[in-house]
């Protein structure tokens, strides 16, 4: 019996050493944006970024959104962030999407992490559905079709940053007639 127990324990330890490490939701989401066309080029030219694996949004006339994220600067995880949004107007449905905000330089990064940051009402995205992707910046919007997170594509309406930031979203699922990022409020807590 002792030999059998030792054999099982040895097998378990051996199996654990060869088990692949499972990436967390943040790593998975970052990979999606790295491989999604235009957004992938921003990693090399940005001071840092905030990534939100899932932002849930829904509404019937009055809507809301919420998501948790992490903030990175120069490749290092520095803190946590949340996004909230309340919107009023013609809207119907619900959706979930991933979002990333790139910071062009330390000034933009400091502005985002200084406490409470908010996108103005002029920031918006196009309506998106499951299996589609969209990019939204404070200067404009665009969208591209994709089959899902494993082959998402992003396109751009502008050539880069606006006021030091660039925002990309990739749909995860749902259907909603309104997909603005205007009025999003962010909080930041250092690690």
Mean local confidence (pLDDT), 55-78: 92
β-sheet bridge partners, residue 171: 97
Mean local confidence (pLDDT), 51-63: 90
pLDDT recorded at residue 159: 47
8 A C-beta contact, residue 158 and residue 102? no
Report residue 41 CA to chain centroid gap: 16
- pTM of the complete model: 0.71
Each residue of 108-157: pLDDT tens digit?
Answer: 999 999 977 887 655 433 222 333 334 444 444 433 333 444 445 444 44
8 A C-beta contact, residue 119 and residue 88? no
H/E run at residue 16? helix 2-17
Instruction: Supply the DSSP symbol for 41.
Output: H
Rounded CA gap, 122 and 86, in Å? 15
């Amino acid at each position: 019996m002792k030999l059998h127990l030792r054999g099982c324990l040895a097998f378990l330890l051996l199996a654990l050493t060869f088990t692949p490490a499972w990436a967390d939701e943040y790593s998975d989401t970052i990979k999606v944006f790295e491989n999604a066309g235009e957004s992938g080029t921003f990693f090399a030219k940005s001071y840092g970024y905030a990534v939100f694996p899932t932002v849930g949004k829904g509404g019937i006339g009055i809507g809301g959104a919420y998501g948790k994220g992490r903030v990175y600067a120069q490749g290092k995880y520095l803190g946590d962030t949340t996004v909230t949004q309340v919107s009023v107007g013609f809207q119907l449905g619900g959706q979930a999407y991933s979002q990333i905000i790139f910071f062009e330089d330390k000034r933009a990064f400091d502005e985002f992490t200084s406490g409470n940051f908010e996108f103005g009402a002029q920031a918006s995205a196009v309506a998106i559905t499951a299996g589609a992707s969209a990019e939204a910046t404070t200067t404009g919007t665009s969208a591209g079709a994709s089959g899902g997170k494993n082959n998402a594509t992003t396109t751009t309406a502008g050539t880069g940053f606006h006021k030091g930031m660039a925002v990309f979203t990739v749909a995860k699922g749902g259907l909603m007639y309104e997909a603005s990022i205007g009025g999003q409020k962010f909080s930041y807590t250092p690690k």
